[in-house]
Each structure stands twice: as structure tokens, then as C-alpha cells.
Chains A and B, each alone.
Chain A
Amino acid sequence: MPLIEFSDKGLYCRAGGFYIDPWKPVDKAIITHAHSDHARWGSKYYLCHAQCKPLLQMRLGENNYQAVEWEEKIFVNGVQVSLHPAGHMIGSSQIRIEVNGEVWVVSGDYKIEDDGLSGKFEPVKCNTFITESTFGLPIYNWKPQIEIFQNIRDWVCRNKELGKTSVFIAYSLGKAQRLLQCLPEIGLPIYVHGAIWNAHQAIVSSGFQLPDVKRITYETPKGSYLENIVIAPPGAEGSAWMKRFYPYAVGICSGWMQVRGTVRRKNADAGFALSDHADWKGLLQTVTETTAEKVYVTHGYQAVFSRYLNEIGIAAAEVKTEFGNEEEENSAAVAEAQETIDNKQ
């Protein structure tokens, strides 16, 4: 019997009686990270990494949480479970499961490059590896963070020279904090949308050091944004809420910006291919380093990536999950948050 089954509620470990990132309420859930497509509401018990817990509290409210450290071995119904850094965002983890010497690893979302915030990704040796494949095409190859950060700073300076505000579009949880490592060096004030402010507060209160940001409220004088920096979540793009920043230029930070067509479709003035997922080479490298005999490929380009793995001699199969709709859901949530702000005005 496989250690993990693909059920209609999510990835299920029958031996341990728990689910990993279930998309329906269950008794026991182990959570890889706090994004909305992986951490869902309604389960009776959540196991996650210590840094992930405050984020789950922010998103899902008070629940029965158990927090563990990376590589801390615990037993659930006799199944050995441990969490390992996934490098995707703060507190993001891969889940390792072992029964009678057989090891399975669920990657959740991951990236290889150490971004300085999310913990350094470590490949975990296993028999079966369940990997994401968001950017599972060879056109996706990321530049080093240090290089992208420089491009971002250059762009902000150029906007300032042209008398414009730089507005970044970035996920409120993850990408926004990553951007904050790059921007303070420029020395301009940074204003953030309420959704990003909330994430910021949750992360700071859990003991992280993050640069100072100012929350955008209806009381913030309009002139204060000019030639400075704003970070807003994806739902804010093209909305009336953005008018207050005029004149501004929009820069979107996402792996999808690798392709020109996406930048143009989003009407962005600049696209920065800054991703929190593994690129093509990263996926291949990880699969090889896990030394897994069998690979299941989930959300993303699962058909392409699994076919390629089979062709290079690694047994792989695609699995349909309900992960990977983060952007859609985020947009909806943000649109709501925005309305609340706008209504107050």
C-alpha cells in the first residue's frame, strides 16, 4: 500500500491517519506553508513549522495548532514525520514520512535559492518524491536574486528621476517580505497595502526583523507617495485604489514575468521574474538529489515535467490536485480588503 494516497480531500497518509495540505476539512492536517491554496480552513488539528504558526493564526484564526522545528522527529499513529526547509516562504516546509524504512517526501512549494528569509532549501533523500511543477518548463530559468534586486533598485531610481512613484505588485505573504530585503537600501519611504501590513505585523510579532513600512490608509496624504515606493497585492492592479499614486509606474514581481506576453497582458511597466518556486533546473536538480525511485508531479506543468522525467529514466506520474490557485484566491481576498478601505473614504 502506498504511504500516501491521492484522495478527493487531498494527500492522505492512511497509516498515520493524516492529510497533507488538505483542500477539505479533516481531522488531522499537516501544512507545508501558509498560502491559501495549501492551508485551508476547517480542520480540527494542524501541524506546521514554528514560523508558519503565526501566519496560520492570522489567516485561519485560532485553531488546534502544533508547531515543530525543522528535522524534529515526531510520531503520528506510529508514522515518523519530520519537516524540512522548503525555501518557498517563511516557515515553508517539505514533509518527510517514514514507515518501516520507506521514505516519502511531499515538497509543497519550494525554491532552491536561499532568499535570506525562508530558510535554506535542503533536498531530502527518499524513495518517493511528490514535487510541485509550477514552473516546469525549460523557459523558466531564474537569474540570481542579487541581480534581480539590482534591476529592481535601478528601476525605482529611474522612476524617481522621472517624477514617478514605483508601485510593486507582490503577494502579501512571501514576495512582499522578500522585496523588503532589497528596497530599504535605496533610502526611500515604503508604503504598503493593508493586506501586506497585516502579514508584516504577523511576521514581526513572531520575532522576525523586517524593515519599517508605512500602512496606506485613507488618512495618508496623497502627496506622500510621490517618487517613493508602494507595495500592493495582485488584486490591486488596475483598481481605483491605485489612483492615489498617480503618477506611477507598475512593476510586477513574479516568475510569470519571464515571458514578455504576460508583462504586456498585465499592462505592467516592468516585470521582474522574481519567483518563490524552483525553476526548471531547480526542479530537475532536486528530483535527482532526492534519489527517489518514483516521482509524483503535482500542480503546474505536471504532464510536461513527468513526461520529461520518464524520458530521462526517472519513473514519474502526474497527479491532479487543487493546489496552484493562489493567485485567483488572493485577488478575491484583496479586492474585498480594498473595498473596505475604499468604503471608509
Chain B
Amino acid sequence: MRQFAELVQTLGTSTKTNEKLDALSEYFSTANDKDKVWVIAIFSGRRPKRAVNSTQLWTWCNELAQLPGWLFEECYHAVGDLAETIALLLPEAIPSDASYPLHYYLETLISIEKQDEAIRKAFILRSWQTMTQPERFVFNKLITGNFRIGVSQNSMVNALAKTVKLDPSVIAHRISGNWDPMATSFADLLSENTLTKDYSKPYPFYLAYAIEDDVNSLGEPVEWQAEWKWDGIRGQMIKRNGELFVWSRGEDLMTDKFPEYHALRNHLPNGVVLDGEILVAQNSSSSQRGDEVFPLPFALLQTRIGRKNVTKKQLTEAPVSFCAYDLLEYEGNDMRETFLIERRVLLEKIVKSINHSALLLSPLIPFSTWEELANLRSQSRNMGSEGIMLKRKDSIYQVGRKRGDWWKWKIDPLVIDAVMIYAQKGHGRRSSLYTDYTFAVKDGDKLVGFTKAYSGLTDKEFAQVDQFVKRNSLEKFGPVRTVKPELVFEIAFEGIAASNRHKSGVALRFPRINRWRKDKTVNEINTIDDLKKMLELYGK
């Protein structure tokens, strides 16, 4: 555990990617094999289930530290991280030379998951009492979740590749999909062992950068394929060995969430992997004519995510389709090295032969000049899309985010001027700074809150706003301050949908702060009617 805590410490404070990589490869060449498997699991989002919840953790911490609940909360808001707050508040540990390895803690946590609370509590308290403060921090972090400590899965893959001398794309594929860190050895995980073949294993996704230059710099239009950029969930549909698997880009297995897809199990041939978008499409019976796709707002898809049992009503109101745009495996062969244009031919053949409303083909956009495409792009919103994807016709399917062959060319976001009305302290590196804001538009003489936004300002601007909040807060509701409505910001967002959960009646997609409108006063901001007009135009 000590070694892992040190690794996390280095990764968390190091400001240089190379140092992080070195720390990781150092770990991979010196740690014990079982711990390594767990580190791979954790940094690729495969954390064990929560054996205890946050409330239990902080209650037990308070018992030990003998603090009132409100004081714990004040501390939490200053630190911005539950695991760290607890590590800082626990009384000094009893020094112990015995440091158990990482896998001991994780496997014990798994083994006690279904046991009585008393047993789980005893384990947590015993562990705390023998740990140093950095160990307590990572231990709590393992329990509470999201292990975001300044290292991407990509860096981890690169470090691992360097240590075991394999290509990063091979590593990325081997560690993807369904595997149990408790039952998988380090050697098995990294070798291609046919005996334990995992039929559900997805390929790493190929991701595009946003195009920065003029599209004209891409060269001849004829070398490029254009498609609409859909705003759903990027997914991979796998049919192997008679079974169907659907993965999201976050590597969540989502097959069971979407019963619409189950019929495809009988239609798709074995040995096929499709790359595409999971989305809620317009009632497909009317638009099911070859290449017509019209997706509904992401908000509708959201009603389906996170639900285990889907009702009939949801199935009719928000039917989910898979809009396919690439073919990664065909007849059991990895197709990623063939040209896009060839993959597309096969893809069209498969989708058309199946002819099922749950599987759509992402249509190509015919164009002969960049000007023509630019005009089409300006109509993206009417197509229910957020812009255009440009893919080089002779591109192979790469691993991760790469420049050159694939680009996303998004439309400009929608914008609205709003005033800040609430502020709350941020988390992680923004802990103890007021960086999470709620914004309002005008509704007659009143202000009505309609969105939160957390990003888009520079560190310097955040510091200035933080000072403003500290000097101009009117009331305090728990961690939230109401702020004198004075600072005006331009809020950018990708989409808008009706919502009965929000007082304003709208929900925004990807809201963020576009810029600080120091030139505007609160009297000059937009109104609720402006928002409603946008909803009318783009939110249907």
C-alpha cells in the first residue's frame, strides 16, 4: 500500500507528463504482480463495488475524531474531497511497520461487501489505525470512487507498454473489456491466451480532434468522407459466438440497458464489431427509409441511462437505435488496418441486409467543395446533429485520440448572456475556491436560474470571481452562497431541451462559460423568453 500511496502522490503533484510516465513504469517494474493488475484495473475505471458508503465512512471518522457533523462538513468544503478530508481528520495512527499490499485491501473490501456492517466497520477502522496519512488517503479513495489523480488511462497504457515492451495499441486492447482483477494474473492479462478468450472484448475507440485550421487545409474534398456528428453515446456493438455485447466509450457494458438491441443478436452475423452512436431516433417506422436518421435531444437518451428496468412507456417515447458508422471486425477478422472506404462498403452491406429499426446507418453527406460542405454544416442543428465528422477515405482505424485522418468540425455553440446568482466551492485543484456557479436570465423584474457551469474561465479569472463572491455574498445555504447579481457571463451550450425538473423549464447540453462580459450589466442580459425561443427552434 505504501508503494501505491507514493505512486499516487507523485502522479498527483507531478506537473510533467514524463515524470508521471516514469513513476508509472517504475511502479510496473517493481511492484508485485497482483498489485499491478489492480493498478491497471483502477486506472482503467474497474474499481470494486463500494463495500461501505460515504455516509458510513464519515460517520466512523467523526466517531474517532470526535467532531460535530457540521464541522466535518465545513472541512469537507474546504478540502473538496471526501477521502482526503477523512485522512486529514483521523487521529494520529499507531505506527506500524506492517504495510499490507494493495491487493490485500482491495480483495478484503470485496470479500466483506455482503457482510454485516459491524464487520465492515471493524475492517475499515483497523486499516485506518495502521496506516500513514497518504495511505489513508488512497485507501479512502479506493472506497469512495472516482480515482482521478492526474493520470489518464492513456498514460497508464503507455507506461505499461514501455515496461513490458509491447505496442500501446496492443496493451489498450488487451486490458479492455470484461476481466476480473481478482481472477486475472498479470501474465494472463497481457498475453493473448485463446483458452480464456473473452468474446465481449471491445476495441479501443479511435477519437477525433476538433479541427482548428481552415478546412481548405485538409486538401482535396474527394479524399474525405463527411458524416453528421451525432450527439448520443459513442458505442461499440459486438456479435461473437452467438452473443451480443454493447459497450459505451466509457467501457461500460450497456447491453442490458437497451432491450431494443436484443433482436439484433439473431440478425447480426457472428464475428462482427460495429462502431457507432447510441441514440434516441425519431419514431423509426416513418423515417425508416434507407439512410434517414433523425435523433431526438440527448435529454431523452438521458431518461434511459442509469435505468435497469425500462418501462413500456419509455420504450415507445424514447426508443434507442444504434447508428453505425464503422466496421471494426468482420467474419472474425480485425478490420482496423483496412481503409475506411472498404470498411464502409461492408458496413453498408451488413446494415442493409439486416433492415431493422434498431440498427441504422449513419448516412454520408455528399459534397464536392468545402464551401458546399460549410453550407451544409450550418444546417447541422436542423438535422439534430452537432456538426460534421470528416474522415479520410483511406484512413485506418487508430487507437485513441489522434490527429490527421479524422476531424470533428462542430458548429458554433448556442450562447446566452446570464448573471451569476449562486456560487459554491469547487473540488480537486479548485478546492476552497468558489468556482461552481449558477446563472440566471431575466424574467420580468425577477431573475430565474437556468444552468450551472463549472468551466471556461482561466485560473486568474476564477481567482477574481472568487474574490468577488467572498466580498459580495448575501446569504449562505450550506455550502452555497447567494451572490449579488452583478457579474455577467456568456454561457455557451450545445443543445437545449424542455425539462420539468428545472424551474426555468429548460435543460442545457454541455453548458460552460464562454467569456466574462465585463462590458455588460445585469440589465443587459438575456431573458427567459429568449431561452424559450431557442427551445422552440432547436429543442424539439
Which residues from chain A sit less than 8 Å from chain B, CB to CB?
A: 137-139, 141, 258-265, 267-271, 301, 304, 307-308, 311
The chain B residue with its CB closest to the CB of A261 is B431
Does chain A have a CB within 8 A of B118? no
Query: Which residues does chain B contribute within 8 Å of A265, judged by CB atoms?
Result: 429-431, 433, 459
**B13 contacts A268, CB within 8 Å?**
yes
CA of A139 to CA of B86, assembled, Å: 9
Q: Are B14 and A304 in contact (CB under 8 A)?
A: no
Q: Which residue of B lies closest to A258 (CB)?
A: B88
Q: Mark B198-228, 1 if CB is under 8 A from A, else 0.
A: 0000000000000000000000000000000
| Contact residues in B for A137 (Cβ distance below 8 Å) | 71, 74-75, 78
Going nearest first, the 10 A-B pairs with the smallest beta carbon separation are A261-B431, A264-B429, A139-B88, A265-B429, A139-B75, A304-B74, A261-B429, A137-B75, A261-B80, A259-B79
* 6 other A-B residue contacts (CB within 8 Å) besides A137-B71, A269-B15: A137-B78, A261-B84, A262-B431, A265-B429, A269-B14, A311-B68
A-B contact pairs, 10 of them (CB 8 A): A137-B74, A139-B75, A259-B432, A261-B81, A261-B84, A261-B430, A263-B13, A264-B150, A265-B429, A308-B68
Produce 1/0 per residue, B76-104, CB < 8 A to A. Answer: 00111100110011000000000000000
Query: Is B428 located at the chain interface by the 8 A CB criterion?
Result: yes
Residue of A263, A264, A267 with most partner-chain B CB within 10 A:
A264
Assembly CA distance A264 to B71 (angstroms): 25
A261–B425 Cα gap in the complex (Å)?
12
- Number of residues in B with C-beta < 8 Å to the partner? 29
Q: How far is the CB of A37 from chain B (nearest CB, A)?
A: 15
Query: B427 and A304: CB pair below 8 A?
Result: no
A139 touches B13 (CB 8 A): no
Whether A139 lies near B428 (C-beta < 8 A) is: no
The answer to whether A264 and B75 touch across the interface, beta carbons within 8 angstroms, is no
- Best-surrounded residue of B12, B74, B85, B459 (most CB of chain A within 10 A): B74
A168 CB to closest chain B CB (Å) equals 15
B13 lies within 8 A of A138 (CB): no
Tell me how far the C-beta of B84 lies from the nearest C-beta in chain A, rounded to whole angstroms.
Answer: 6
In the bound complex, how far is the Cα of B67 from the Cα of A259, in angstroms?
19
Q: Within residues 134 to 154 of chain B, which ones have a CB less than 8 A from any CB in chain A? A: 137, 150
Report whether A269 and B71 are in contact in the complex, using a CB–CB cutoff of 8 Å. no
Assess whether B65 is interfacial by the CB under 8 Å rule.
Answer: yes
B14 (CB) vs chain A CBs: closest residue = A269
- B81, A260: Cβ atoms closer than 8 Å: yes
Contacting pair B84 A260 (CB below 8 A)? yes
Q: Evaluate contact between B89 and A139: CB separation under 8 angstroms.
A: yes
Q: How far is the CB of A66 from chain B (nearest CB, A)?
A: 36
Whether B15 and A139, one on each chain, are in contact in the complex, defined by CB atoms closer than 8 angstroms, is: no
- Nearest-neighbour CB distance to chain A for B477, whole angstroms, equals 14
Cβ contacts under 8 Å, B67 to chain A: 138
Q: Say how far B136's CB is from chain A's closest CB, in angstroms.
A: 13
| Cβ-defined partner of B75 (8 Å) among A138, A263, A268, A307 | A138
Instruction: Name the interface residues of B11-36: CB closer than 8 Å to any CB of A.
Output: 12-15
Q: Considering the chains assembled together, what is the distance between the CA atoms of A139 and B71 in angstroms?
A: 10
Give the residue name and chain of the A residue nearest to B462 (CB): A265
User: For the complex, what is the distance from the CA of A301 to the CA of B15, rounded to whole Å?
Assistant: 30
Chain B binding site: helix, strand, loop or mixed by DSSP? helix
Q: Point out the residues of chain A lying under 8 angstroms from B75, CB to CB.
A: 137-139
CA distance A265 to B432 in the complex (A): 11
Bound-state CA distance A301–B74 (Å) is: 10
Task: Kindly report which residue of chain A lies nearest to residue B77, judged by CB atoms.
Answer: A137
* Docked-complex contact A271 and B13, CB < 8 angstroms: yes
Q: Given B13, B74, B431, which contacts A259 in the complex, CB threshold below 8 Å?
A: B431
Interface centre among B14, B84, B429, B459 (most CB of A within 10 A): B429
User: Which chain B residues border A307 with CB–CB below 8 Å?
Assistant: 70
Within the complex, the shortest CB–CB distance from A260 to chain B, in Å, comes to 6
Residues of A within 8 A of B431 (CB): 259, 261-262, 265
Q: Which residues from chain A contact B74 at a C-beta distance below 8 Å? A: 137, 301, 304
Q: Looking at the assembled complex, report how far the CB atom of B250 sits from the nearest CB atom of chain A, in whole angstroms.
A: 24
Q: Which residue of A lies closest to B78 (CB)?
A: A137
The chain B residues found within 8 Å of chain A, CB to CB, are 12-15, 65, 67-68, 70-71, 74-75, 78-81, 84-85, 88-89, 137, 150, 427-433, 459
Flag if A261 contacts B13 (CB, 8 Å): no
Which residue of chain B lies nearest to A139 when distances are taken between CB atoms in the complex? B88
Say whether B432 contacts A139, CB under 8 Å.
Answer: no
The distance in angstroms between the C-alpha atoms of A270 and B75, with both chains bound, is: 22
Q: Which residues of A are found within 8 Å of B80, using beta-carbon distances?
A: 259, 261
Contact of A304 among B12, B71, B85, B430 (CB under 8 A): B71
If the complex has contacts A265-B459, A269-B15, A311-B68, are A138 and B89 also in contact, measured as CB distance less than 8 A? yes
B83 nearest in chain A by CB position? A260
Closest to A249 in B: B15
User: Do A139 and B79 contact each other (CB < 8 Å), given the known contacts A262-B432, A304-B74, A308-B71?
Assistant: yes
- The answer to whether A139 and B429 touch across the interface, beta carbons within 8 angstroms, is no
Tell me the complex Cα distance, A335–B75, Å. 32
Q: Is the CB of B429 within 8 A of A138?
A: no
Q: Would you call A264 and B12 a contact (CB within 8 A)?
A: yes
**Whole-angstrom distance from the CB of A300 to the nearest CB of chain B?**
11
Residues in A with CB closer than 8 Å to B459 are 265
- Chain A hits for B65, CB < 8 A: 138
What's the minimum C-beta distance from A282 to chain B, rounded to whole angstroms?
15
Q: CA A311 – CA B431 in complex, angstroms?
A: 27
Chain B residue with the shortest CB-CB distance to A270: B13
Closest residue to A136 on the B side, CB-wise?
Answer: B74
Q: Give the nearest-CB partner of B91 in chain A.
A: A141
**Chain B contacts of A261 at CB under 8 A?**
79-81, 84, 427-432
Q: Which residue of A lies closest to B68 (CB)?
A: A311
Q: Which residue of B lies closest to A271 (CB)?
A: B13
Most buried by B among A261, A265, A267, A268: A261
Tell me the minimal C-beta distance from A319 to chain B in angstroms. 17
Q: Are B84 and A259 interface neighbours, CB within 8 A?
A: yes
Interface pair B433/A264, CB less than 8 Å apart:
no
Please tell me if the beta carbons of B71 and A138 are within 8 angstroms of each other in the complex: yes
Q: Which residue of A139, A260, A267, A271 is within 8 Å of B78 (Cβ)? A: A139
Q: Of residues B78, B80, B81, which shows the largest number of chain A Cβ atoms within 10 Å of its Cβ?
A: B78
Complex CA–CA separation, A307 to B69 (angstroms): 13
- Residue with the highest number of chain B CB atoms closer than 10 Å, among A258, A260, A269, A271: A260
Which residues of chain B have C-beta atoms less than 8 A from A267's C-beta? 15
**Chain B's nearest CB lies how many Å from the CB of A305?**
10
Tell me the minimal C-beta distance from A297 to chain B in angstroms: 14
Instruction: Output the least CB separation between A113 and chain B (Å).
Output: 16
- Report the nearest A residue to B476, measured CB to CB: A303
Complex: A135 Cα to B85 Cα, angstroms: 15
Q: Which residue of A lies closest to B15 (CB)?
A: A267
Docked Cα-Cα span, A162 to B74, in Å, equals 40
Complex: how many Å from CA A260 to CA B136? Answer: 14
Closest Cβ neighbor of A325 among chain B residues: B467
Q: How far, in whole Å, are A260 and B80 apart by their CA atoms in the complex?
A: 10
Min CB distance B480 to A, Å, is: 15
**Alpha-carbon separation in the docked complex, A137 to B430 (Å):** 18
Report how far A264 CA is from B149 CA in the complex, Å.
10
* Min C-beta distance of A262 to chain B, whole Å: 7
CA of A263 to CA of B14, assembled, Å: 10
CA distance A265 to B81 in the complex (A): 14
Cβ contacts under 8 Å, A258 to chain B: 88
Given A138-B67, A259-B79, A304-B74, are A269 and B429 neighbors across the interface (CB < 8 Å)? no
Interface contact B78-A264, CB-CB below 8 Å: no
Min CB–CB distance A338 → chain B (angstroms): 17
User: Which A residues are in CB contact (< 8 Å) with B78?
Assistant: 137, 139, 259
User: What's the least CB distance linking A325 to chain B, in Å?
Assistant: 10
A268 to B13 CA separation, bound complex (whole angstroms): 7
CB distance from A178 to the nearest CB of B (A): 22
Smallest Cβ distance from B140 to chain A, in angstroms?
Answer: 12
